[in-house]
Structure 1
Amino acid sequence: MSSQFSDASLKPLEGAQLIGAGLLLAAANFIAVLDTTIANVSVSTISGALGASSSQGTYVITSYAVAEAITVPLTGWLANRFGTVRVFITSMILFGVFSALCGLANSLGMLIAFRVLQGLAGGPLMPLSQTLLLRIFPKEKAPAAVGLWAMTTLIAPIAGPILGGVLCDQYSWPYIFFINVPVALICGYMGWKMLKRYESPLLKLPIDKIGLILMIVWVAALQLMLDEGKEKDWFASTEIVVLALIAAAGFIAFMIWELTERNPIVDLRVFRHRGYTASVTTICLAFGAFFGATVLTPLWLQGYMGYTATHSGETTALTGILAVLTAPFVAKLSTKVDPRKLVFIGVMWLGAVTLFRSFNTTDMSNFQIGWPLLMLGIGLPLFFVPLTGLALSSVEESETASAAGLMSFCRTMSGAIATSLVNTSWENKSIYYHAELAGMVDQFGDVSNTLTQAGMSLDQARANIEQMLQSQSIMLSTNHIFMMAAISFGLAAAAVWFAPKPTRVADTSAAH
């Protein structure tokens, strides 16, 4: 969203009011971003409690991400049509209501339905919280407003796994959703009291209804195909073939319609800029690799390394420590150094650390698992901060808001698609490695003899060998995913050089 709704005659807030409103908007952004990761370490617990498999449990992550991606491009139209503050407050309250319903769900289907609604409500919160921060802060303090917003955006994904783990272990999984309710309702009430005078003028702009319907159809069909494919044996299933055809036809129809519509819901014409196309390609490949590996880590730690949800969350969250510490330095650097160099270094760093992680073993200590995750954090600001500026400086200034919304849509979708692909590949590869190892283990019965001589029965010996086989096949499968993620990072790092050197500094207030 851009700050296009500013009213010059309206004075910014001052003193305690400014601090209060700033914290309120930061809290709104915080819980919206928090919910993208808070369920990551809780997937195993949720799926177990609701009688579903871990792979089905990942729908809890992807359903929220996809729904959020759909509403982001709609935010500008909604703000113009109903008012920035009104849309923000309504989204905030609905987010709280749907969070409560998520916690009360008694089946996986019901939980996913409410997660979709929660994602639809949460989509506008991130861009609108930034827009309103820039409107209530005096112009000379605009960098502080952007800094506050950026800090909550960075801290929330770190806090998500820790908070999710603690709430799951100490209480029960519904509390990862209930925790949003008081924050959302208080922010909604106080926000309306403090911000209603900053309401933007209403504009009755036409909405691209056909474009919106086509987008929902192809995105939903694609995500359902990816989520259900593994369970249905992929293209051996008529349902998956039908979903694939709907996704493909819907996507082509969507592309044609959006390129010819006068007021498109997603302005695809911004892809005519080489720098923007290169930047979006980079962010999709790199963010998909990062998010896929991030989703996989707690599943592996909890399922096969004996970690609790809390311990898993603490380990996963190590990534954010150095990310927060290095972000201010990267922000300063990005105004002085060619952003392509910073992005290349950041993405290559992420790729190198992920490549190192592809040589994990089943007897690793907590330190051996944790320190690469800590080091990963150095590359994140180098990747995110300059890439946003590079993408938005590549388009015309009038296209900045559209370009930012489309970039956010692509980023969120790449994370959701990567989650589904990682989950499918992880299980398939573990089956493949299990079959490969089974043919090589104990061919002459030496291990079985040793175990039976140690006092085990033959059945116990076989069960012991099977457990070892399963553990090693999962480890090999996990390493394979990390290797694929490292290759994706390498491709992303190469893609950024297709962007020409930027000739102007973009207004990143439109990014979200």
Structure 2
Amino acid sequence: MNPLKRQLLIFTVILAAIMELIDTSIVNVALNYMSGNLGSTLEDTSWVITSYAIANVIIIPMTSFLSNRLGRRNYYIGSIILFVLCSLMCGQATSIWMLVFFRFFQGLGGGALLSVSAAVVYEQFPKEKLGTASALFGIGVFIGPTIGPTLGGYITENYSWPWIFYINVPIGILVAISCYFLLPESPIKANINRIDWWGIALLIVGIGSLQTVLERGQTDDWFAATYILVLTITAVVTLVGFIIRELSIDYPVVDLRVMKSKSLSVAAILTFITGIGMFTSIFLTPVIAQRLLGFTPSETGVLLLPGAILAVFALVVSGKLLQSGVSPVLIIFIGFVCFIYFNWSMSHISLDTSARYITLKLIFRALGMALLTVPLSTLAVSSLKPQDMPQGTALNNMMRQLGGSFGISIINTYSARRVASHRVDLIGNVTTDNPTNIDRINSYTHYFQQKGLGLLDAKIRALKVIDLSIVKQSTLMSYIDSYFLIGLLFALALPLLLFVMKRAKKLPAGVVVSDH
């Protein structure tokens, strides 16, 4: 392939990955609009996010198998077409469950756009430039979820929510046409004579059940809901059965044997932690900015842009550092420190925190993510044989998505419990013998009396204002606790780097080794 076609192919598959990842977060800011337009509750509308996440996590580990079974080129282009058609149908949906249905199949199509895109990018570079390949693909991994809320907010405010799906159609068509002419068939073929139907079934049921529990647990009060309890038991039984089966047959749908690689195993765990940080920060920061600080969706999106721009350069720099012989462990360590500092800083915000302060701290979050994406991706595949790289990449990508689901689920539960705890503490200060509280009630009462209310009504309104203030402050305090928890999790994960430090020191610049 000549250099121009090669560069165009790399651009095309990275664009496809960005498009897929944007759709993981672009709908977050449009849920209220969808709910009102389709006449559904916000709880039902949240299945628009849940169904896509479930489909994504189910299909990602199967992409290597499906590529070999159907032919990578056919599978990839077919997935793009499915993604585009379902995007169009999502925009045309006239009911919430019609939207959820097509959103699920959009997620199935989107799964290939992540893992296969990564494998294609890696193939275009020699082993000594694996860091550059990781950097280029890392741009898509980072930019997608970061600009999703910004793009979704702009489109929803200035047009209408269906356009967050319609925007995929022209991009997807261009990607499909480009891949038709440029994408070669996979140079490596696995044995595809036998199909692991039981493995596929166990994976679909297990991951689908687990993802549903994670996405819906907090909303439905966890095990107080019978279906959550049933799905939890189902997930445990089927996933254990899946692992046992995949390790005991010759032609598994997901080759878990690649996890014998110490580098891949450690990278997968750290990628899981990184997924928690990536998705929870994208979840928490917009919520705080809009619900507590009064920012519009567009203003919230702008907070993320400076960091996203700097992160693109940081991704390239981290790739160059890897090529020049800098230990990936050192870069990962710096990335974790940046993320720890971001979460520590955000755990000190108040209701008076300025947009400038948040923007500056988000830069550290962005730099941390940029410095983690490239070396973790490189570390994940560095010790694998060429034929195992697609499977290793798929498993690593799945860990990132699962990390995001676990993280958001944990933070939702943790922050809800901390809100209740902080509310009790704050209400304890609202007493009749507290001079500050008495002055505040009297001040609000006098204010509402001036607005024409009687004494009793004015006092009731004053108490409601104080209660709202308590709710707002306790909510903020719960999110502060959440940032601290995430930062602590990153700090506790740092010792894992010791397990790959010795190997990293032995690696000359640009050399890829094998454990097998």
In the superposition, the TM-score normalised over structure 1's length comes to: 0.87
Distance 1:96 1:383, change over 3 A: same
State which of 374, 385, 388 in structure 1 corresponds to 2:374. Answer: 385
SS at match of 1:124: helix
Stretch of structure 1 that moved more, 33-42 or 130-139: 130-139
**1:195 match:** 182
Stretch of structure 1 that moved more, 140-149 or 388-397: 140-149
Question: Is the CA contact (8 Å cut-off) linking 1:286 and 1:488 kept in structure 2?
Answer: no
Question: Is the CA contact (8 Å cut-off) linking 1:340 and 1:501 kept in structure 2?
Answer: no
Alignment of 1:454 with 2:447, yes or no, is yes
For structure 1, the 5+ residue unaligned runs are 1-11
**1:254 match:** 242
Residue-by-residue CA offset, 1:469-497 (whole Å, 9 max, x unaligned): 11101101111111111111112222222
Residue-by-residue CA offset, 1:208-258 (whole Å, 9 max, x unaligned): 211121111111112222333233332233222212111111121112111
Question: Is the CA contact (8 Å cut-off) linking 2:71 and 2:185 kept in structure 1?
Answer: no
State which of 367, 370, 383 in structure 1 corresponds to 2:356. Answer: 367
- CA–CA separation in structure 2 for the residues paired with 1:24 and 1:177: 19
SS at match of 1:261: coil
Residue-by-residue CA offset, 1:334-359 (whole Å, 9 max, x unaligned): 23122112211211220121111011
Distance 1:210 1:135, change over 3 A: same
Distance 1:256 1:443, change over 3 A: farther
SS at match of 1:378: helix
**1:327 match:** 315
Alignment of 1:67 with 2:60, yes or no, is no
Matches within 5 A, 1:306-325: 306-325=294-313
**Per-residue deviation at 1:296?**
1.9
Q: What amino acid does structure 1 have at the position aligned with 2:503?
A: K
Stretch of structure 1 that moved more, 19-28 or 383-392: 19-28
Matches within 5 A, 1:128-143: 128-132=116-120
Residue-by-residue CA offset, 1:241-292 (whole Å, 9 max, x unaligned): 2121111111211121112121222222233333332222122123213311
State which of 218, 237, 254 in structure 2 corresponds to 1:230. Answer: 218
- CA–CA separation in structure 2 for the residues paired with 1:140 and 1:487: 35
Distance 1:44 1:436, change over 3 A: farther
Question: Is the CA contact (8 Å cut-off) linking 1:100 and 1:178 kept in structure 2?
Answer: yes
Q: What amino acid does structure 2 have at the position aligned with 1:90?
A: G
Residue-by-residue CA offset, 1:279-332 (whole Å, 9 max, x unaligned): 221221232133112112212222222121111122134431221121121112
Residue-by-residue CA offset, 1:4-31 (whole Å, 9 max, x unaligned): xxxxxxxx1454x556555433432321
State which of 336, 352, 367 in structure 1 corresponds to 2:341. Answer: 352
Question: Is the CA contact (8 Å cut-off) linking 1:41 and 1:161 kept in structure 2?
Answer: yes
Alignment of 1:35 with 2:36, yes or no, is no
**Per-residue deviation at 1:64?**
2.1
Distance 1:491 1:52, change over 3 A: farther
Distance 1:235 1:374, change over 3 A: same
State which of 385, 392, 400 in structure 2 corresponds to 1:403. Answer: 392
**Per-residue deviation at 1:126?**
2.5
Distance 1:485 1:109, change over 3 A: farther
Alignment of 1:76 with 2:77, yes or no, is no
Stretch of structure 1 that moved more, 322-331 or 131-140: 131-140
Question: Is the CA contact (8 Å cut-off) linking 1:62 and 1:420 kept in structure 2?
Answer: no
**Per-residue deviation at 1:78?**
2.0
**2:254 match:** 266
State which of 503, 507, 511 in structure 2 corresponds to 1:501. Answer: 503
For structure 2, the 5+ residue unaligned runs are 450-457
**Per-residue deviation at 1:402?**
2.3
**Per-residue deviation at 1:123?**
0.9
- CA–CA separation in structure 1 for the residues paired with 2:61 and 2:3: 32
Distance 1:71 1:507, change over 3 A: farther
Q: What amino acid does structure 2 have at the position aligned with 1:486?
A: G
In the superposition, the TM-score normalised over structure 2's length comes to: 0.87
Stretch of structure 1 that moved more, 33-42 or 21-30: 21-30
Question: Is the CA contact (8 Å cut-off) linking 2:22 and 2:144 kept in structure 1?
Answer: yes
Alignment of 1:415 with 2:417, yes or no, is no
Q: What amino acid does structure 1 have at the position aligned with 2:367?
A: I
**1:162 match:** 150
**1:479 match:** 480
Percent of pairs identical after alignment?
31
- CA–CA separation in structure 2 for the residues paired with 1:347 and 1:105: 42
Task: Give me the CA root mean square deviation.
Answer: 2.9
Distance 1:134 1:367, change over 3 A: closer
**Per-residue deviation at 1:452?**
1.4
State which of 58, 63, 73 in structure 2 corresponds to 1:85. Answer: 73
Q: What amino acid does structure 2 have at the position aligned with 1:461?
A: A
Distance 1:149 1:307, change over 3 A: same
Stretch of structure 1 that moved more, 152-161 or 48-57: 48-57
Distance 1:318 1:492, change over 3 A: farther
